[in-house]
Amino acid sequence: MALSRAQGVLDELKALFGPRALLSRAAKEVYRYDAILVGPEPLAVVLPESREEVAALVRLARRHGVVLVPRGAGSGLSGGAVPEEGSIVVAFTRMTRLEVDPHTQTAWAEPGVTTARVSEAALPLNPRTQSTLLPTGSTMMPCGPKACWVWAGVTST
C-alpha cells in the first residue's frame, strides 16, 4: 500500500476510533500472531465496541481496499488470526454483550464473549449436570437435558 494512501487510512481510523485504533508498532506487536507466534505487522489494530463501529470499519476498509482480519483471543494454533501485511486486525475483545433467554434456552453473544462466560450464564438452566456434562457427549448421543450446550446445528437432544 502506498504510504500516502496508508496515512489516509490511519487518519480515518484515528478519527473513528480514537485511542481504540492501535497504530504504533509496540501497540500492534501482540496482534501480529496467535499462539503460533509468527506473523507480519498489520497496518493497524482496531478495538470496536459495537456493531455500528464494525460496519463503519468495513465501509472504510472496502473504500480503501484494505483487508480486515477478525481476531478473538488470539489463542488459536492454526494462524487464523494472523494478519496479512498492511491489513487491519479487528480485535473483538471489547464486544462482550451477552443475553441468555431461559425460556427458549438460547443465548445471543457478541464475538468477544468467552465460552466460559456463556457456560456460567447458562448454569441456572440446569445446575444438576453442569459440572459433569460435556457438549460433545450431549450432542453426539441423544442424552442430556434440553438446557445442555448445542453445537453444529443441533437444536434439541
Q: What is the pLDDT of residue 138?
A: 43
Average pLDDT estimate for 124-152: 48
Q: In this structure, what C-alpha cell is assigned to residue 28? A: 500492534
Per residue in 74-104, is it b (16+ CB within 10 Å) or e — as a string?
beeeeeebbbeebbbbbbbeebeebebeeee
The tens digit of pLDDT for each residue in 82-136 reads 888 899 999 999 999 999 888 888 888 898 888 888 888 877 665 555 454 444 4
Q: In this structure, what C-alpha cell is assigned to residue 145? A: 437435558
Pairing mode of beta strands 44-46, 88-91: parallel
**Distance of CA 155 to CAs 13, 81, 145, 146, Å?**
40, 29, 12, 9
Q: Which class for 37: exposed (0-12), middle (13-18), buried (19 or more C-beta within 10 A)?
A: exposed
Whether residue 152 has pLDDT greater than 70? no
Task: Yes or no: say if 34 and 76 are a contact pair by the CB < 8 Å rule.
Answer: yes
Please name each of the domains of the chain with its CATH number: 3-94 (3.30.43.10), 96-157 (no CATH)
> Among 2-11, 16-25, 36-45, which range has the highest average pLDDT?
16-25
Backbone angles phi, psi at 101, to 5 degrees: -105, 105
Model confidence pTM above 0.95: no
Q: What is the pLDDT of residue 3?
A: 66
Pick the closest to residue 133 from 119, 148, 113 (CA basis): 148
Whether residue 10 has pLDDT greater than 90? yes
Q: What is the pLDDT of residue 82?
A: 86
Task: For the chain, give the mean pLDDT.
Answer: 80
